[in-house]
Chain A
């Protein structure tokens, strides 16, 4: 079975500063990796995904993530955040070839202030 650890429950950051949200996963087989974002009072929406190929994945709203197999990590980064990036971010993992079960992390609350 796979699992996901998001080490930071909250990350405060000033507007225009860079940010990194950390995600580590555990799995004995190959995986797909995802970042989802949840804005207040809304459902989740996909930010980016890694299925195969290039380990640097670019997503919407200027976010990117890098798949590091040796460190079993998939950290999310943005070079300059905006107030509108304030949201909860979830890392998720699934086994390749099935994905009937997507396992989510516990989430990281990104709070951007002026």
Chain B
């Protein structure tokens, strides 16, 4: 089954304790992206990756890191989490066209709800 898998689905942590949210897709997609969803703000892009070893900032990258060492995996790293990073996080992936562009048809994971105390 084609899917994007995120772990953990739920996490409560404390300020400053490094954590990683993993994301893996089995569709051989080149493009992957992380979003955070907050009430009244919709989804905001944190980072995205067009391919292995190619990553770029989205709208709200502060406080986050990503890496893309393998095509299928795109972990989101919070080096020193703070309460304002309490949010619902989504990983998404997509194919790229032959021209190297993304059509915008994203496949989403089920989300990771993070609470930072």
CB pair B40 A99 closer than 8 Å: no
The reply to whether A106 and B41 form a contact with Cβ atoms under 8 Å apart is yes
Known: A105-B42, A106-B41. A99 touches B108 (CB 8 A): no
Which of A13-21, A41-49, A67-75, A76-84 lies at the interface with chain B? A41-49
CA distance A32 to B97 in the complex (A): 14
Q: Kindly count the residue-residue contacts between A and B in the assembled complex, taking CB atoms under 8 Å apart.
A: 67
Q: Given contacts A34-B104, A99-B102, are A43 and B109 in contact (CB under 8 A)? A: yes
Map CB proximity to A onto B43-59 as digits: 1 under 8 Å, 0 otherwise: 11100101000001011
Chain A residues whose CB sits within 8 angstroms of the CB of B110 once the complex forms:
41-43
| B residues adjacent to A (C-beta < 8 A) | 4, 31, 33, 35, 40-45, 48, 50, 56, 58-59, 90, 92, 99, 101-106, 108-111
- Interface on A for B, CB 8 Å cutoff? 9, 32, 34, 36, 41-46, 49, 51, 90, 92, 94, 97-107
